[in-house]
Structure formats: C-alpha cells, structure tokens
C-alpha cells in the first residue's frame, strides 16, 4: 500500500530553519516525482517544491525560491525539504505527495499528485 509519512514540523521564530522529511513506502519511489505542498488556514493548497524521480530536475514556487531546498535519497526512500529564512507566511500544514504518473516530471499542479501523507504542521511565530 502506497504510503508517505512526514516529520520535522514544529514552531520556529522568523528567520529560523526547519528540515522536513518524508519517508515513502509501498511503491517504487525512484520512479516518481515527489512534491511538497502546503495549506495555510483559509488558503488554497500550494505546491512549494517538487523534484523529479531522477533527483535532477526541481521546481520551486516563487514564494520560497532561494530559501527552500528539496532533495531526495532514493536508496533510503526519503525526500527532504530544507527551509531557511522562514517567514510568518510560511505557516501551514506541509504535505509530501506522489506524482500521479510514473516517470512524470516535477509539476507545480496540486492535482497532479495522487498519494499524500498526513501532513506536518509548521508554525513560524515570534
């Protein structure tokens, strides 16, 4: 059964850093692009970053470009989001999600992702 499990969320002050991890199982992780998608209260879901199944191609949303870095270790079935220079507007529940096409590219469309983790809360506040 396909499963993604996130960890690493928490409370951090503005300007701080957090590292989110996603462990995938139940499918060939190295054949799928993975995304980090967030949802803040009262807002639509937003794809903040995605990475190709090869680990070579990445996408970053404009709101996080230059601050967030996504990478993956297929041997460990782990996908990581390093978040630096955090802002209050980064507060949201963060989900990792699997692209719905095997060997598909790292898209920015939320609807392109079919299996999601349970989410981890990130709160940026002083």
Q: For every residue of 23-60, which 3-state class applies, written as one string?
A: EEECCCHHHCCEEEEEECCCCCCEEEEEECCCCCCEEE
43-80 in b/e form (b: 16+ CB < 10 A) is: eebbbbbbbbbebeebbbbeebeebbbbebeeeebebb
Going by C-beta distance under 8 Å and a sequence separation of 6 or more, which residues neighbour residue 32? 53, 98, 99, 101, 102, 103, 104
pLDDT, one tens digit per residue, over 96-125 is 999 999 998 999 999 999 999 999 999 999
- Within 56-119, strands assigned E span 58-60, 68-73, 78-83, 92-99, 113-116
Q: How many CA atoms lie within 13 A of 116 on its CB side?
A: 17
pLDDT, one tens digit per residue, over 42-91 is 999 999 999 999 988 889 999 999 999 999 999 999 999 999 999 999 99
Average pLDDT of the segment spanning 26-54: 96
Strand 120-124 vs strand 10-12: parallel, antiparallel, or unpaired?
parallel
Q: How many CA atoms lie within 13 A of 13 on its CB side?
A: 1
């Amino acid at each position: 059964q396909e499963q993604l499990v996130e960890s690493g969320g928490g409370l951090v002050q503005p300007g701080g850093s957090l590292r989110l991890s996603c462990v995938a199982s139940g499918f060939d992780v190295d054949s799928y692009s993975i995304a980090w998608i967030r949802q803040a209260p009262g807002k639509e879901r937003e794809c903040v970053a995605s990475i190709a199944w090869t680990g070579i191609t990445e996408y970053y949303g404009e709101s996080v470009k230059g601050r967030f870095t996504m990478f993956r270790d297929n041997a460990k079935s782990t996908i990581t989001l390093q978040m630096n220079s955090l802002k209050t507007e980064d507060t949201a529940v963060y989900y990792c999600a699997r692209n719905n096409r095997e060997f598909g590219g790292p898209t920015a469309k939320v609807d392109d992702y079919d299996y999601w983790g349970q989410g981890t809360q990130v709160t940026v506040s002083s």
